[in-house]
A = this chain, B = another copy of it.
């Protein structure tokens, strides 16, 4: 399993170095934004950038500073109300639907809040770093991974904000095309047997990746690369969005009640299909992985293709011996990249999260932490699907083979794509 030290120098960075590396990365991601961009929420899933900046600080304040630093005073008692997301046991909180209506604190004031938390965290880490059993350490680690999750959300959320705006602004320039020849779709085969999946050993993992446990999995095949825009376009042109027999019933209902006729961010212009990315609107690149599809669409595509999506044990078993590598957010693509011409198992990480056909449920023996922090993952285990891998918006040090991302059937605004599987 990769750890943060893999992507750093030979001397492992200290916790303080890692703390500031993550915190600065958050700020760096904001550089292309205007003040106005920080304020709005373009749909219920999207939080304002300003809120992400504050909430990640609130997390350290609430779960680290409040219990472990007696001297800590919040700059404003209302921040605890405004910037709590969903931790019911941590107290009353602002209604999510109104996050995008709050103009104060301003961006500048939120940055003061961040600095205030950073100063207190810095002092605390200094004080406890030597005590490797200190209970704050694992919470700080969690807080860093929490902030990395929000870094990804900041990118997917601002993308949606920009898309909602008829001006269609761009966040970053379009990366130079690296398209070489894409490999043909191939299969990686795994034989039936009992496997151990889930997190064990060293390194950080969220609680929902534990306990590791045995599963029996029959023979299966898994796609060596992601499904491309070209392949998805074939599905569309074969009237995929008009054939009810390809869809789950809820998916077909969604198609009928919405205007979905293609992935989110695709538009049919007089000159052909375009895609909106964080680089603005440009012609659809057929070699790139299809992205911003719901589980409904991934499932219908797989059915159309005569196969299916992988289960999460299958994905993890297949990926277990592959190095955690990919472009990740550090590549500054902000968009999934085409596969290489290699025929091995590729694109597992760093382009798009991959829908599985596994519902997001507790592993056998799963026990969330006590108290508000136990709400982090456990209470979401209904009506969602697991996605595996990592995307072009994921920090490299945040990815690992046991990672369980999860979203409901109709979510599309994340960097979500398709890897196929089949019975062997």
Question: Contacts A86-B249, A218-B364, A382-B409 hold; do A166 and B42 have CB atoms under 8 A apart?
Answer: no
- B contact residues around A178 at 8 Å (CB): none
Task: Output the nearest chain B residue to A378 by Cβ-Cβ distance.
Answer: B248
Q: Is the CB of B165 within 8 A of A106?
A: no
**Interface hits, A342-361 → B, CB 8 Å:** 357-359, 361
Q: Is the CB of B216 within 8 A of A214?
A: yes
What is the 8 Å Cβ interface bit string for chain A, positions 202-219, against chain B (1 contact, 0 not)?
Answer: 000000000001111010
Question: Contacts A357-B362, A364-B423 hold; do A165 and B86 have CB atoms under 8 A apart?
Answer: no
A89 CB, min distance to chain B CBs, angstroms? 6
**Interface hits, A22-36 → B, CB 8 Å:** 34-36
Q: Is A247 an interface residue (CB 8 A)?
A: yes
Question: Contacts A39-B39, A40-B40 hold; do A165 and B102 have CB atoms under 8 A apart?
Answer: yes
Q: Is A127 an interface residue (CB 8 A)?
A: no
Q: Is the CB of A250 within 8 A of B103?
A: no
A47 CB, min distance to chain B CBs, angstroms? 13
- Contact partner of A250 among B39, B296, B359, B383, CB < 8 A? B383
What is the 8 Å Cβ interface bit string for chain A, positions 81-121, against chain B (1 contact, 0 not)?
Answer: 11000101100001000101111111100000000000000
Q: Is A336 an interface residue (CB 8 A)?
A: no
Question: Contacts A88-B252, A362-B357, A409-B382 hold; do A40 and B216 have CB atoms under 8 A apart?
Answer: no
**Interface hits, A287-307 → B, CB 8 Å:** 295-296, 299
Q: Is the CB of B364 within 8 A of A357?
A: no
CA distance A81 to B166 in the complex (A): 9
What is the 8 Å Cβ interface bit string for chain A, positions 159-182, against chain B (1 contact, 0 not)?
Answer: 001001111010000000000000
A307 CB, min distance to chain B CBs, angstroms? 12
Q: How many copies does the complex hold?
A: 4
CA distance A213 to B34 in the complex (A): 54
Known: A39-B39, A86-B249. 15 other contacts (CB 8 A): A82-B167, A89-B245, A98-B164, A102-B165, A104-B167, A194-B194, A194-B216, A247-B379, A248-B381, A249-B375, A249-B379, A358-B361, A359-B359, A383-B408, A383-B409
Instruction: Write 28 A-B pairs (CB below 8 A) sorted by A numbering.
Output: A35-B36, A36-B39, A36-B50, A36-B103, A36-B104, A36-B106, A39-B40, A40-B40, A40-B100, A40-B103, A81-B166, A82-B166, A88-B244, A98-B164, A100-B101, A101-B161, A101-B165, A102-B164, A102-B166, A103-B165, A103-B169, A104-B169, A215-B216, A248-B381, A308-B362, A359-B361, A382-B409, A383-B383
